[in-house]
Amino acid sequence: MADAPILEVRNLVTAFDTDAGQVIAVDGVSFQCHRGRTLGIVGESGCGKSVTALSIMRLLPQPMGRILGGEILFDGRDLAQATPEQMYQVRGGKIGMIFQEPMTALNPVHTIGRQLAEVFLLHKTRDRAEALRLAIEMLKHVGIPSPEVRVGEYPHQLSGGMRQRVVIAMALACRPQLVIADEPTTALDVTIQAQILDLMQQLQAELGMSIMLITHDLGVIAEMCDDVVVMYGGRIAESGPVEAIFENPSHPYTRGLLDSIPRLGGQRKSRLRIIDGMVPALKDMPPGCRFQNRCPFAVDRCRKDQPAIEQVAPGHAVACHRWREVVAGAAVSATS
Amino acid sequence: MTPPDSTPPLLQIRGLKMHFPIRQGMLFKRPKLCRAVDGVDLTVHHGETVGLVGESGCGKSTLGKCVVRLLEPTEGAIHFEGFNLAPMGCRQLKPHRRHIQMIFQDPVESLNARHSVGQILEEPFVIHRQGDREERKKKALALLDKVGLPAASYDRFPFEFSGGQRQRIGIARALALNPKLIICDEPVSALDVSIQSQVLNLLLDLQRDLGLTYVFIAHNLAVVKHISDRIAVMYLGRIVELAGADELYRNARHPYTRALISAIPEPNPRRERERIVLTGDVPSPINPPSGCPFHTRCPHVQDRCRVEVPQLRPAGPGHEVACHFDL
């Protein structure tokens, strides 16, 4: 990885104005997304993973959402400082976005063809016939049967899986360098999810784009990603290559997540390991480490000081005061 | 996990069909039918958990709603402790209702937002005329304790709770009348991963302590396998395979079950596996394919599958499969 990352987020802080005052949803998040690779962002609801994506796309709900600080370097340019006009060029052109719910991402009163052609009209051509031809070609590319017929249909006439293919076609229409996919398969059935994940991998191999994949499903992360960022309470808990995160999880939260999912090959009816309590609301996050009130390793220091990011191995970083004990504890329980 | 044959099963479903008429715009047009459940036989024994898996539209939730008789089935029988619930009317059903309860997927919609938790938990006692006010409160507090919620929750309202806690309230309500059978309809699908495991553990503990019988409906095979003794796989309103949970995972016989298992992303980045990617979508239950319902997506399809509906047939001890071929 000699070349510069396609996307580098440095110390991003995003806040929302609410009735209860300002709430920091993303608090000093930094990560890199490398060219041609897939970065996974995983965490539970409210951990700030979607807000991070919306900050990068500058699509935060207005006027409540605001980027308070940090840099979002995309191909060397800081998107946090970009003007709305510059962002029009970036969105859909250089960065594509795939949303969770394909029904709300598509406009129900326009045909598939018109919506897809719009992307080309904005970024590539002024000729409507040419745009429609490109749209049909793109639909064929994402595996939609008889695209010439489908361009004339409305979103409600398509199944969930087909709709998501259309959304993917829109995101990839202008051959973006980066695709941000926010829970792209959460609303789909498993067999359809398998189709969509396959399609994304195949298109990545063909077009060479980078993918930033946001999900709560550790299975999808394991299958799709090269690098992983684990978020909790608006901060990064742990980040590193996918093998390191799954085989040597060094943050108690990552360990807890991995231990708590039922696995197909696991012992039936055994008690699952659990993470006590629940994610606190953003406005009453505990001081110090945000995971301290649910953490089995917490000591006084965790309740006072926010842990710094420390390196476990090259490329593998963790924000925990006691990660050495966590890793050692894992070794003990594995041998016993 | 088949108990001795001497004890009659708790629940026996025979030839159950639930067809919904679809109204169409044109006058005098023959109404079409949505065949949500299309001929299901299923036996549930005392103290076991039977998992129902399948993708959206396979009829698993409709089947659950028929058993608690939120729906009146079109055809077939639901024998529960010797009574056939299927044809019963409201009044006849009432004495049986307390024995079968349901836990719903969405803990927000299934709790009345205008009632306090105390009111929600006491309502079953009011409906079935049990105890006086004081007794009911005592029972409600005991229920809260059973599902691991603080007694202070009694006076609070559903919106004050998180998703996992609300699901606990839903579970407490289902337990109120000491039911024998609980239909769990996707009880953890709406919850975060770390909360899911808490609720699954709670369901397992309650089953052990109270001797409950569960029908556990979910689309996530890993979750269903974890909690179930036996699993029935549904596709387009029919059961296509039925087996012990471990047997089903290790030795799936139906091509749909195999595809379903292989499609589950597993949290292991080094896993090398062959994924069976099914082409196409699930056909609509309004216009199901002829013959085997799975033939439009089946990688092993042959001519016979297009005309003849395969029936469930034995494929090993406690294992049944609805496929013409031994694959």
Of B254, B266, B260, residue with least CA distance to B295: B254
- Confidence check: pLDDT of B101 > 90: yes
Decide if pLDDT at A334 tops 70.
no
Say yes or no for a CB contact (<8 Å) between A243 and B269: yes
Pairing of strands A227-232, A235-241: antiparallel
Which pLDDT value is given to residue A30?
A: 96
Q: Phi and psi (nearest 5°) for B245?
A: -60, -45
Dist. CA B77–CA B12, nearest whole Å: 8
Q: What is the pLDDT of residues A91-112, one digit of tens each?
A: 988 999 998 877 788 999 999 9
pLDDT beyond 90 at A124? no
Q: How far is B263 from A193, CA to CA, in rounded Å? A: 8
Element (H, E) at B258: helix B255-263
Mean pLDDT calculated for residue range A152-162? 90
Lowest-confidence region among A248-257, B72-81, B270-279, B311-320: B270-279
Residue B246: closest C-alpha in chain A:
A268
pLDDT at B211: 94
In angstroms, the separation between the Cα of residue B269 and the nearest Cα of chain A is: 4
Q: What are phi and psi of A245, to 5 degrees?
A: -65, -40
pLDDT category at B203 given cuts 50, 70, 90 is very high
Closest CA to A305 of A326, A290, A323: A290
Q: Torsion angle of alpha carbons A46, A47, A53, A59, nearest 10°?
A: 40
Residue contact B225–A269, C-beta within 8 A: no
Q: What is the mean pLDDT of residues B26-45?
A: 84
Task: Kindly report the nearest CA distance between residue A31 and chain B, in angstroms.
Answer: 21
Q: What is the pTM of this model?
A: 0.89
Give this complex's ipTM.
0.85
Domains assigned to chain B: 7-97+229-327 (3.40.50.300)
Q: Which residue of B has its CA nearest to A281?
A: B162
Nearest CA in chain A to B165: A278
CA distance A116 to B229: 48
The H or E element containing residue A183 is: none
Q: How many CB atoms lie within 10 A of CB B29?
A: 9
Q: What is the pLDDT of residue B153?
A: 93
- Confidence (pLDDT) at B1: 47
Determine the average pLDDT of the residues in A18-37: 92
Half-sphere exposure of A113 (CA within 13 A, CB side): 17
CA A218, CA A184: separation in Å to the nearest integer? 14
Contact status of B273 with chain A (Cβ, < 8 Å): no
CB distance A262–B164 less than 8 Å?
A: no
CA distance B256 to chain A (A): 10
Contact A260 B194 (CB under 8 A): yes
Q: CA A263 to CA A273: how far, in whole Å? A: 12
